[in-house]
Amino acid sequence: MSAPLRAEFAREKGDDLDPVVPEWLTVPDVAQVAGVDQRDVRRWLQERELIAVRRGERGVASVPASFVTPEGPLNHLRGTLSVLADAGFSDTEAIRWLHTPDDTLPGTPIDALRANRKTEVRRRAQAMGF
């Protein structure tokens, strides 16, 4: 794992996300779900196709399971993460926002992304940046 990636994980712990994120995957778990090497998962993290936070006593890098499909990172996630970062969201805040129910969608933003409704999600994320 590269130094900048390690530094990002060190800044943010994700233990307080457990109430909103029902399932987490470690890097080896993501690799298994997507059928790729762990190197590919680390590249996805470095290129921000996925984001992770450190969790637990050992500070294990963990990715919300909702971000991963058998084909790799969820379609439209990378662009949405970019919009959230531009709006000033940290990785922890982005994960929380994506998993928090929004009555106007309905459901959570991550559910809407999984249903290919990226425009609605990104519009809301952009509005939060203003």
Which DSSP symbol is given to 116?
Answer: T
pLDDT tens per residue, range 8-62: 433 455 668 999 999 999 999 999 999 999 999 999 999 999 999 999 889 999 9
d(CA 31, CA 12): 23
Q: Is the pTM of this model over 0.85?
A: yes
Please compute the mean of the pLDDT values over residues 93-107 and round it to a whole number. 93
Return the pLDDT at 57. 86
Of 126 and 95, the one with more pLDDT: 95
Peptide bond into 106 cis (omega under 30): yes
Could you give the 3-state DSSP secondary structure of residue 103?
coil
Give the CB-side neighbour count of residue 15, counting CA atoms within 13 A: 9
